[in-house]
Amino acid sequence: MKKREHLHRHREHHPKVSIGLFLIVLGLALLVATNDLLDLGSVSSYFTWQTAMIFVGALLLLNLQFTGGVLLIAGGIWFFLEMMDYQLPDIIGTIYWPSVIILIGIGFIISSFLKKFRKSNQSVNQ
């Protein structure tokens, strides 16, 4: 039982770390919005469901939940670009979602190596 709790603790941040990461990402979002860095106009134009997807995805990535984070960020960016009436080059539209799937696959591979590395370190330390 202790072993499972020990492994589970490495997967999640301490609540204060998560709150700190949330505030940092929120502050960065407000900085972008108040300075109109994406030329959207008013601050309210920045806080839409698309940007909420990107924001939650960034928080998931920071909490080491790679698959959900990448999917939310990719979906948010995709719909955000459509909202901006930005015409994507054809090559970007063609490779966007396959690239996201490749990134998720790379994330699975990296996380499996990290699990093996953690297991070997725990067996050495015990």
User: Could you identify the residue written with the tokens 């539209």?
Assistant: 93
- Segment 49-105, tens digit of pLDDT: 888 898 888 888 877 778 888 889 998 988 887 777 667 788 877 888 888 889 888
**Domain regions of the chain by residue span:** 14-125
**Measured distance CA(100)–CA(73) in Å, rounded:** 10
CA diameter of the chain: 57
In this prediction the pTM is 0.65
User: Could you identify the residue written with the tokens 């190596």?
Assistant: 113
Q: Which tokens go with 6?
A: 């020990």
45 burial type by CB count under 10 A (0-12 exposed, 13-18 middle, 19+ buried): middle
Q: Which tokens go with 118?
A: 């953690």
